[in-house]
Structure 1
Amino acid sequence: MSATITPAGTRQPVPASSDRAGRLLRRSARPAAAALSGAMLFLSFPPRPLWWLALPAFALLGWSLYGRRPRAAFGLGYLAGLGFLLPLLVWTGEEVGAVPWLALAAVEALFVAAAGVGIAVVTRLPLWPVWAAAVWILGEGVRARVPFGGFPWGKIAFGQADGVFLPLAAVGGTPVLGFAVALCGFGLYETARRVHDHRRTGELPRGPLAAAALAVLVPVTAALAALPLLDDSAEDGTATVAAVQGNVPRLGLDFNAQRRAVLDNHAKRTEQLARDVAAGKVPQPDFVLWPENSSDLDPYRNGDARLVIDRAVRAIGAPTVIGAVLTPETGPLRNTLIAWEPEKGPVATYDKRHVQPFGEYIPMRPFVRLFSSDVDRVRRDFGPGGKVGVFDLSGTKVGLATCYEAAFDWAVRDTVTHGGRLISVPSNNATFGRSEMTYQQLAMSRVRAVEHSRAVVVPVTSGVSAIIRPDGTIVKQTRMFTPDALVAEVPLRSSLTPATRMGTLPEGALAALALGALGWAVRTRAKERRATAR
């Protein structure tokens, strides 16, 4: 029997396998954290009421990017982007397969990767959570504009319809709301980092710790201070509005392949609503809103479609907004909303201004066809309209943002600055089946309601349709793929929130803040290198 005596103060040798495992674990920690932060951002979005997950998500992203070099930060940011956007946008492949979905998520994640580089760069500066949050909003702003007019789906603000920060939408729109969430999350990490350093070194830099704590407290305090902006009083009286959801005969891209079936569904449900009004079950609406593409035939070129619409509108006895695809002899198709009056027929139109790339028109068609033959289902491209959509319905000016347009700040704001007392977001989500897309879009409309202090009505072909008050609360909503008609009295408002008045000014200020911080960081780093070279 023998024993090995180890001299005091010496360490036992670590097995090579354990050392390699430890190095691998350390190397994978930040990539795993970045991917997890993206997944947590996804989970913070509807239909889950987990808006608060965005805060630890940004804290985790801050930890993974803090002090990283640009190349590493790009990779970490890309992982975060994929973790966020891959599950968030899975609905885009509902009927066309995985390739378009994966391609879209892969391209959009590049913007998150670029923001990751900027965040890592500014972490070297004092008060870095402020600059990092501004860099994130700069990335969202660029992504909302390029390419092909941008793709703002997945703005952090759109996941906050149930959150405590929502009132900030009325202060400065989606950029200020998103900035507050990101700042609070980065501030949480910086606070934790300072506390950890104190425990490790015993030093407590009170100034930096106070600044970190303020990065958490200021956004929350600002949101509470903005609560009075959530005013849903009836400044200009009220209107009784009806939203009709007729449902579709089948799901998918070919939902309107059965000639006139979608139109018949919406006409029948409107006629049922008229019978309910006559029976005293629901009040007589001042006007009725149908969804986007609720008429699968052009009523200007199809007499039978015109007769069906006219009969339904006469039955309900109120101006009705019809969504239709217009098919002129030449030129592009038009995704059009038509104001239809019981005695006069069609009296006004609004052509969707921001048509959806790869959905309503195909950019670079020959190239895209190499990856998916589904592009040929869009045989004829849609063209954009050129005027703001505001209809006068029974004396009420109703602003119109068709489906995809609700994701764009300018497209909704224009309707309010042009006199809209209420906003309608008619949509068609039959293409996306039972995915989360409809809940994500409904959350956008709730944020828009608060942003502009307007009631928002969301009539959808197959669900979820809803009526939303100016404070973002849902009055009524339908179930998916169930014919229904929602009727409610909503307040009409004419005052403008600070967000509506300022327009793009808050976003521009945050972008300038981000660019200034990036320039400061680059210049500081260059000075340090020159000093080291001496």
Structure 2
Amino acid sequence: MDRLKALGRLVPRVAAAVAAGVLLGFAFEPHDHPWLALVAVPLFLAALNGISMKSGFLVGAAFGITYYSVLVPWLSVIGGDAAIALAILEGLFYAFFGLFATQVLKLRLWALWIPCLWVAIEFATAAVPFGGFPWGRLAWAFSDLPLGRLAAYVGIPGLSFVVALVGVLVYAVLRRGTALRMRAVALGAGLALVFGSALIHLSIEGDGQTVRAAMVQGNVPGKGLEFLGRARTVTRNHLNATLELQKRVEAGAEMKPDVVIWPENSTDIDPYKDAETRADIETAVKAVGVPILVGAVTQGPGPNERQTTGIVWDPASGPGQRYAKRHPVPFGEYIPFRDQLLPYIKRLEMVGAQTVPGVGPGVMPIRGVTYGDVICFELAYDNVISDVVKGGAQVLVVQTNNATYGGTGQPEQQFAITRMRAIETGRTVLIASTSGISGVIRPDGTVEHKSEQFVSDVYVATAPVQNGHTLATTLGSWPQWILTGLGLLGLVLALIERRRGRAEKTTPPPASGSARAREKVPA
């Protein structure tokens, strides 16, 4: 009977957590209602307050699984079971948040420890398993709001902290039992963060030098072609789009670019080994007379292995600098525990050869300008961005292939992440996609150009060259480590308090003086 009553009390909290997960999922693209994050966080905390750790685990799991189910339904293109598995896996991180937050909320400085603990959970999701999946960070939702400008100063982890903190302050204002003075302080601090960020001005100017770059989106053919035919068609589409660009340049309708950028998978056939693919690329390069950064899948380094690369193809010297993707997608580009899983999951054979991660950042000097090349999903990994900026990248380039996820919301989410990277680094980001979304993002996160999906699109941008560093890139990973450390410290303090409280409950009160005297009298 008692268990049924406890379950009945827990059901409304689980329902509140599910609602909070839905709201947070709708904060992101393609729904794009970031202010909902400031509703979801306090609602989630309200569901966790005053319950046991076991109940907190269940409530946290309900929140996290719902959140990722709303955030990444596009994975169902691969398979419904894949989408469910990812939602459960990532949701478990928030189950542990719920487990620990039930105790952290009891601390005096809970309003500090909770957002730090949130950053720690995001850090964990970005690291494990298989290199992590940093797609659900609070910061990604805020490319259109003034609060997002703080990323230039505190980075992506710091912005997630600020968003969580504002949510915590909203909860503190509404929380039953909060003193009037504390409510006033929380309200004032929250308003200062929200409206103070609107006063931040981010420059879109560089260091005086500019570069003209052409992003080529050649588009992809429809389904139904056999592999080589489809792959060759994609490459030919990019060749033809580049030739059309050159015609416009010759006609005086377009300025001649200094560099041309083709997307990831603009050729899935190794141009080092296939004469026809190599001839297509060289035709394009010689036509425009400037280097093309080609997105190519190359064979090797070992048997049944491949790499996703960006290759600088020069009109005079041919293929030169080469960057290999450092964060291939597990179960999409490579199979963890391949030998053990393939015999039991035949569908994994569709992955093909094992993608081997590259070594070193994509820092590419091309005709006096240093580009930082980032390929597709690895855009979401802090170390990839940090490494190219520290390596001297003056302009960022994203080569991507979102054709599989076209029309699902994933390209919009990736575009929003790209905008946050522009703000964080203070650099122009040039995006080339096979089928969209391609575009140009200014250093303040505003959009200069954004292509439609599944069309051919060529855009020539004049981008400022930037040598300086934002405070965020100067600080690097320190904010994340410090905030994570504080989150873990708050957790330790909460567990100590919990243990102390349990010890006090189990220790009997000291006997009174008269009682002790009576105990000494022999019977």
Q: TM (normalized to structure 2)? A: 0.92
Tell me the equivalent position of 1:97.
79
Note closer, same or farther for the CA distance 1:257–1:133 as it changes in structure 2 (3 Å cut): farther
Tell me the equivalent position of 1:56.
39
Q: How far apart in 2 are the matches of 1:354 and 1:405?
A: 6
Tell me the equivalent position of 2:406.
433
Tell me the equivalent position of 1:4.
none
Tell me the equivalent position of 1:451.
424
Tell me the equivalent position of 2:468.
495
Q: How far apart in 2 are the matches of 1:371 and 1:104?
A: 19
Tell me the equivalent position of 1:149.
131
Q: How far apart in 2 are the matches of 1:272 and 1:296?
A: 22
Q: How far apart in 2 are the matches of 1:476 and 1:447?
A: 16
Residue by residue over 1:473-502, the C-alpha shift from the partner in whole angstroms, topping out at 9 and shown as x without a partner, is: 110111000011011111111111111111
Residue by residue over 1:401-454, the C-alpha shift from the partner in whole angstroms, topping out at 9 and shown as x without a partner, is: 111110101101111110100000100111223211101111111000000100
Q: C-alpha displacement at 1:361, in angstroms?
A: 0.5
Q: Which amino acid aligns with 2:311?
A: I
Picking from 13, 19, 29, the partner of 2:12 is 29
Residue by residue over 1:6-53, the C-alpha shift from the partner in whole angstroms, topping out at 9 and shown as x without a partner, is: xxxxxxxxxxxxxxx999875432111101111111101012331111
Tell me the equivalent position of 2:330.
357
Larger CA deviation: 405-414 vs 320-329: 320-329
Tell me the equivalent position of 1:529.
502
Q: How far apart in 2 are the matches of 1:192 and 1:46?
A: 28
Tell me the equivalent position of 1:7.
none
1:9-24 aligned at under 5 Å gives the runs: none
Tell me the equivalent position of 2:29.
46
The Cα RMSD (Å) is 2.1
Tell me the equivalent position of 1:296.
268
Aligned: 1:315 with 2:287: yes
The runs of 5 or more residues in structure 2 that have no matched partner are 508-523
The runs of 5 or more residues in structure 1 that have no matched partner are 1-20, 198-203
Q: How far apart in 1 are the matches of 2:426 and 2:402?
A: 26
Q: How far apart in 2 are the matches of 1:363 and 1:251?
A: 28
Q: C-alpha displacement at 1:348, in angstroms?
A: 1.0
1:165-176 aligned at under 5 Å gives the runs: 165-176=147-158
Three-state SS of the structure 2 residue aligned to 1:401 is strand
Three-state SS of the structure 2 residue aligned to 1:458 is strand
Q: How far apart in 1 are the matches of 2:272 and 2:425?
A: 34
Q: C-alpha displacement at 1:87, in angstroms?
A: 2.2
Tell me the equivalent position of 1:178.
160
Q: Which amino acid aligns with 1:313?
A: V
Q: How far apart in 1 are the matches of 2:352 and 2:6?
A: 55
- Contact 1:260–1:305, Cα closer than 8 Å, also in 2: yes
Q: C-alpha displacement at 1:70, in angstroms?
A: 0.9
Residue by residue over 1:251-275, the C-alpha shift from the partner in whole angstroms, topping out at 9 and shown as x without a partner, is: 5998766241110011110111111
Tell me the equivalent position of 2:248.
276
- Contact 2:26–2:70, Cα closer than 8 Å, also in 1: no
Tell me the equivalent position of 1:466.
439
Three-state SS of the structure 1 residue aligned to 2:215 is strand
- Contact 2:217–2:432, Cα closer than 8 Å, also in 1: yes
Residue by residue over 1:215-274, the C-alpha shift from the partner in whole angstroms, topping out at 9 and shown as x without a partner, is: 52353256346x13x121121411111100011113599876624111001111011111
Tell me the equivalent position of 1:286.
258
Q: How far apart in 2 are the matches of 1:129 and 1:411?
A: 32
Three-state SS of the structure 2 residue aligned to 1:240 is strand
Picking from 172, 182, 185, the partner of 1:208 is 182
Q: How far apart in 2 are the matches of 1:512 and 1:254?
A: 52
Aligned: 1:244 with 2:216: yes
Q: C-alpha displacement at 1:528, in angstroms?
A: 1.9
Tell me the equivalent position of 1:508.
481
Tell me the equivalent position of 1:232.
204
- Contact 2:440–2:448, Cα closer than 8 Å, also in 1: yes
- Contact 2:219–2:455, Cα closer than 8 Å, also in 1: yes
Aligned: 1:117 with 2:99: yes
Q: Which amino acid aligns with 2:381?
A: F
Q: How far apart in 2 are the matches of 1:33 and 1:136?
A: 19
Three-state SS of the structure 2 residue aligned to 1:459 is strand
Tell me the equivalent position of 2:116.
134
Q: C-alpha displacement at 1:280, in angstroms?
A: 2.0
Three-state SS of the structure 2 residue aligned to 1:166 is helix
Q: Which amino acid aligns with 2:317?
A: K
- Contact 1:248–1:255, Cα closer than 8 Å, also in 2: no
Q: How far apart in 2 are the matches of 1:216 and 1:372?
A: 50
Q: How far apart in 1 are the matches of 2:324 and 2:276?
A: 22
Residue by residue over 1:307-361, the C-alpha shift from the partner in whole angstroms, topping out at 9 and shown as x without a partner, is: 1101111112221100001113734211111001112211211111111111110
Picking from 353, 372, 397, the partner of 2:370 is 397
How many percent of aligned residue pairs carry the same amino acid?
A: 37
Three-state SS of the structure 2 residue aligned to 1:457 is strand
Q: Which amino acid aligns with 2:298?
A: L
Residue by residue over 1:50-87, the C-alpha shift from the partner in whole angstroms, topping out at 9 and shown as x without a partner, is: 11111001111111111221111111111111111012
Q: How far apart in 1 are the matches of 2:191 and 2:102?
A: 23
Q: C-alpha displacement at 1:367, in angstroms?
A: 5.1
Q: Which amino acid aligns with 1:288?
A: V
Three-state SS of the structure 2 residue aligned to 1:339 is strand
- Contact 2:376–2:401, Cα closer than 8 Å, also in 1: yes
- Contact 1:161–1:447, Cα closer than 8 Å, also in 2: yes
Q: Which amino acid aligns with 2:47?
A: S
- Contact 1:169–1:447, Cα closer than 8 Å, also in 2: yes
Q: TM (normalized to structure 1)? A: 0.90
Q: How far apart in 2 are the matches of 1:268 and 1:527?
A: 72
Q: How far apart in 2 are the matches of 1:252 and 1:176?
A: 46
Q: How far apart in 2 are the matches of 1:255 and 1:157?
A: 38
Q: Which amino acid aligns with 2:29?
A: P
- Contact 1:129–1:215, Cα closer than 8 Å, also in 2: no
Q: How far apart in 2 are the matches of 1:104 and 1:488?
A: 37
Q: How far apart in 2 are the matches of 1:80 and 1:370?
A: 35
Aligned: 1:421 with 2:404: no
Aligned: 1:387 with 2:360: yes
Q: How far apart in 2 are the matches of 1:427 and 1:78?
A: 32
Q: Which amino acid aligns with 1:179?
A: F
Q: How far apart in 1 are the matches of 2:164 and 2:145?
A: 13
